[in-house]
Chains A and B, each alone.
Chain A
């Protein structure tokens, strides 16, 4: 599978993302410059973490106007796989490729720590290798990860199976105490209605090697690479 990892001015997680895809998973992986509109040959576009355009105005608010986002949008509409991590999640929300919005963490502080997330179902190319209810331990590092969707939209997202990951405790209970940023319904990872666009606030690329403290991020990479056909929305 050919991956393209987008680099905006201010992106800062592209190297470790490439390391996992290219060195650990041996997948052809290229960096895509924000001024490019060429996604030819790419099977999965990754929007990695960082502070694109300094996150000025709002996280992702400026990056969405980059030329490459026009190409990413076309790619997504054509059912291409698009994966946003942290800042990538924020950009996909701003670009309208995922529903809802991101606010500053409820604590108003940046938080960097390991958290647990529960996999809600595995009918997605991004969770296909997981079991429903499986708990993953992943690191977060963000100041604006407080996901919001109004109640009707939230109900719709849940009903359609678009909520893929929720913050939980180590036993898999979705509790307020396990929510690191105030996200509504503990949403940590979200898919588009078609299922081909997915984003999460935690950093699976920082949890793919035991020496870094955990390997649960591999479940998500394994899923994408298992080439399971896109499941119909629930």
Chain B
């Protein structure tokens, strides 16, 4: 095939498509010729970090992906595990960081749209959405703009789709000011036997493109997502796609209806790198070839070139391979939902992705060159200098009442209601524990007495100090959150957000992060079944801390026995299960106590994590919840013990009074431990539970059998939060401060 004359200098072309000269040379060598312009664009997109995982693949394969209940591990549009009662639960998390940084509303909205498609492409009906959001401090106007836009975008898309957004996390820290993180997760359910995969097969089978018409939006979005943001990134706003959730709702219903007919060979949504990646992936997984005719693609704009059609990232599109002869039936299903269908290609045996423009072949590339044979890098890796030791003498011991009030009003601690009330979290009529009530959301499942528990967590503050431990702590927290509602963790989806891997300390952090995930997953026997890596989250003078986001799905054995975190009855006993003390390194307390010295929050050693102890604690909590022995359970996280107890009180509308001897009970026998450490120290393996007085002996016995410490903290009741000789705060005031923490200043 003759190369097309292209008058522009090669260096300009390579910059446009995001390839290095070495990668270009590799491409020419593999092809035995120079690529033409269309081919260069296709390869640039497929070899982008976003599509190829070229800097992370060598590490990702260390993650455990097997387990007795795993039905589908990484490599498909989403992972799947056996739920029981004939059902598979399908889920995945994905980042939409770069688009959200320049156009928060559409960036976040299309992030939700993309992850929904990943799940229903597998044949599953989406039943829950979750989000992990990281921003710079919300009092800065730019960050507030990003927060408001992202939340509105998520709401716009998820609400219209009728999929409840039931859980999430929002974290504010200076490292995200220029580089916000928007990770969206979707969970779906499907009868086991209806799980479908994106593997094309059957030479001669037709390839259909359905959904939205193709426009010029999002061209080179994958490349954009694989580079640092810079001062000119704002100019990329037109590269951010615009979402149409209504169209996606039609696509969802039509695809599920078509799948139910059995007339589907394979399905693959169009995401990053559009038609190029979807056709390459569906053919690559099936080990076949595919020929497309771009002239058959319905356009939104006149005059689009084959290059533009192949690289468009227009949303709400799906590639469907159907058995030859069934095209008309498939078209009728889509037509019923008002969707047009383009017959754009055919499956071949030659292993080539061939693009035609009518009779003319405009690109012809081996599928494997685009997928498995993309470059892989083991980039130079070197640890940064270790964090400075934490000098606690530089931290004043605040009046604990003042400190508690301030912590409750911190944007990292306070109520998320201003966010989740913008999300429809009750649609579909299955939300048993809604957002804000507990450490995880719980959904009932039609046809089952079991519940589905979901959570999404990260531990970036600790990962800043130690990426490996931070990643392990994120897994531990997610599993603990599920355990607190009584759920057994089933599997993980992870999104690794890091800065530029071309810096050795970032690649080091990536490797350490994966290692930390691996250690924790192995210890808890929780496999990773899907995930995403987002690199180059830096630029404009700042870089994000390594942020491993862990989405986790669990099974509540008996959904009616799930508990939330709110105190239920005056007179009940409040116990701390697990480690009596935490640490102040990296804590929210440091940020609140010494805001003028932010470097202190970046000093010291991350909390240690005893994985075996943590696993025993979690099993204990799950058993106690399912046996009905505890009425509320809440993980101690940001703000430590006093904040966790305060949150239980606020949620239940009931006060709390600690035992007079609470300090000694927490191990401070001689009164020599800092009060702030006792009350606001943070660490894993700590869960606050409420139980009826008569249940205490059984709880103690179960804890002793599990080898988990029990500390009796005090009693539920009254209208104040009282820790003798330390804290006395009116519950109404605490509630008011906590409730307004995210309000605009």
Contacts and interface: CB of A to CB of B under 8 A. Distances in A.
A188 B559 CA distance: 32
B83 to A, nearest CB: 18
A212 B432 contact: yes
Contacts of A112: 420-426
A128 to B, nearest CB: 24
A50 interface: yes
A9 B426 contact: no
A5 interface: no
A141 interface: yes
Interface stretch (B158-166, B172-180, B189-197): B158-166
B246 A206 contact: no
Nearest to A35: B336
B246 A13 contact: no
Interface string A13-40: 1011001100000000000000000000
B110 interface: no
A211 B422 contact: no
B427 A141 contact: yes
Contact of A211 (B421, B423, B428, B444): B444
B249 interface: yes
B249 A206 contact: no
Interface in B424-475: 424-432, 434, 444
B559 A12 contact: no
Contacts of A100: none
A203 interface: yes
A212 B159 contact: no
B426 A10 contact: no
Nearest to B559: A211
A49 B162 CA distance: 9
B559 A212 contact: no
Nearest to A114: B426
A14 B337 CA distance: 16
Q: How large is the interface on A (under 10, 10 to 19, 20 to 34, 35 or more residues)?
A: 20 to 34
Contact of B155 (A12, A110, A212): A110
A139 B434 CA distance: 12
B160 A54 contact: yes
A142 to B, nearest CB: 9
Nearest to A109: B422
Contacts of A56: 246
Nearest to B252: A12
Contacts, number: 84
Interface residues of B, number: 32
A18 to B, nearest CB: 10
A203 B164 CA distance: 14
A190 B426 CA distance: 23
Nearest to B246: A54
Contact of B429 (A9, A19, A51, A113): A19
B245 interface: yes
A50 B337 CA distance: 16
B429 A206 contact: yes
Given A111-B421, A212-B432, A206 B159 contact: no
B587 interface: no
A16 B424 CA distance: 14
B428 A16 contact: yes
Given A9-B338, A10-B160, A51 B246 contact: yes
Contacts of A111: 421-422
A110 B244 CA distance: 17
Contacts of A113: 417, 421
A10 B245 CA distance: 9
B304 interface: no
A53 B427 contact: no
Contacts of B426: 112, 139, 141, 203, 206, 212
B429 A211 contact: no
Given A13-B427, A16-B428, A143 B159 contact: yes
A56 B250 CA distance: 14
B267 to A, nearest CB: 21
Interface in A151-192: none
B162 A212 contact: no
B326 interface: no
Contact of A51 (B159, B425, B434): B159
Contacts of A55: 160, 246
Contacts of B431: 212-213
A94 interface: no
Interface in A48-97: 49-51, 53-56
A139 B420 CA distance: 14
Contacts of B162: 12-13, 50-51
Contacts of A216: none
B560 interface: yes
A9 B250 contact: yes
Contact of B432 (A9, A20, A54, A211): A211
A120 interface: no
Nearest to A111: B421
Contacts of A141: 159, 424, 426-427
Interface string B236-251: 0000000011110110
Given A54-B160, A56-B246, A211 B560 contact: yes
Interface string B500-543: 00000000000000000000000000000000000000000000
B429 A212 contact: yes
A58 to B, nearest CB: 14
A103 to B, nearest CB: 18
Interface in A111-161: 111-113, 139, 141, 143
A211 B448 CA distance: 14
Contact of A110 (B161, B424, B430, B444): B424
A13 B428 CA distance: 6
Which of B249, B337, B432 has most chain A Cβ within 10 Å? B249
A50 B427 CA distance: 9
A205 B429 contact: yes
Contact of B246 (A10, A139, A205): A10
Interface string A197-232: 000000101100001110000000000000000000
Contacts of B155: 109-110
Nearest to B418: A109
Interface in B268-306: none
Contacts of B430: 16, 212
A78 to B, nearest CB: 29
A12 B155 CA distance: 15
Contacts of B428: 15-16
Given A54-B160, A112-B422, A112-B426, A10 B432 contact: no
Contacts of B425: 112
Contact of B160 (A51, A203, A211): A51
Contacts of B244: 54
A50 B159 CA distance: 8
A109 B156 CA distance: 10
Interface string B332-343: 000001100000
A205 B246 CA distance: 23
A143 B424 CA distance: 10
B433 to A, nearest CB: 9
B557 to A, nearest CB: 15
A167 B160 CA distance: 24
B278 to A, nearest CB: 24
Which of B152, B427, B428, B430 has most chain A Cβ within 10 Å? B427
Interface of A: 9-10, 12-13, 15-16, 19-20, 49-51, 53-56, 109-113, 139, 141, 143, 203, 205-206, 211-213
Of all A-B residue pairs in the complex, the 6 with the closest CB atoms, nearest first, are A12-B162, A54-B246, A16-B429, A141-B424, A51-B160, A112-B424
20 contacts: A9-B246, A10-B160, A10-B246, A12-B160, A12-B161, A12-B427, A13-B427, A51-B249, A54-B244, A54-B245, A54-B247, A55-B160, A110-B422, A111-B422, A112-B421, A112-B422, A112-B426, A113-B417, A141-B159, A141-B426
Interface of B: 152, 155, 159-162, 244-247, 249-250, 337-338, 417, 420-432, 434, 444, 559-560
